[in-house]
Every structure is written in C-alpha cells, then in structure tokens.
Amino acid sequence: MPVTLRLIGEAAKTGKIELVGASNIHLKQEDQANGSFFIVLPRSFVTERKMKLTIGLYNGEKLVTTLRTNFTGPFKFD
C-alpha cells in the first residue's frame, strides 16, 4: 500500500514534508515501515521554540491515521 505523509492544520498551508533517501513509502499489510523526513516550514510560521504539529498518513486521499510530533524551531543566542 503506497502511503504519503502530509501536514494537517495551519502548518499544511505553508509547510511541506520531504522524505530523506526515498521518493515514496510502501506498507505491507500488518507491517510497519521506517524512514526519515524533514518538516519544512517558513520562518515566519515558527512562532515558538517548540510547536506541536499533526501529520496525516494517507493512502491516496484516504486518511489512515494521524501522528503528533513536536517541531523544534530555530532560536538565537543573544
């Protein structure tokens, strides 16, 4: 089953998910997959050092499940 990862909520309007080392994800029935990805957001969207994001796992246009993660944004030292 080919699946895609997509941001859900406000982050989906300006952000994107980029897979590392693969162009797609395939799951077998009753199996799991491993992989790495980057969440890319414009600096203007990142208003907190640690933001909660929701990621949807889709098979085509069907939402299979959601995942929650923390996005650690940039910070500067004074």
Tokens, residue 52? 């909660």
Question: What are the boundaries of each domain within the chain?
Answer: 2-72
Cα–Cα distance list, 30 to 1, 33, 58, 60, 76 (Å): 11, 10, 16, 18, 44
| The token pair that represents 31 in the structure block | 């199996």
DSSP annotation string for 5-37: EEEESTHHHH-EEEEES-S-EE--TT-----EE
More confident residue, 52 or 78: 52
In this predicted structure, what is the pLDDT of residue 62?
Answer: 94
The whole-number pLDDT of residue 75 equals 66
pLDDT tier at 31, thresholds 50, 70, 90: confident
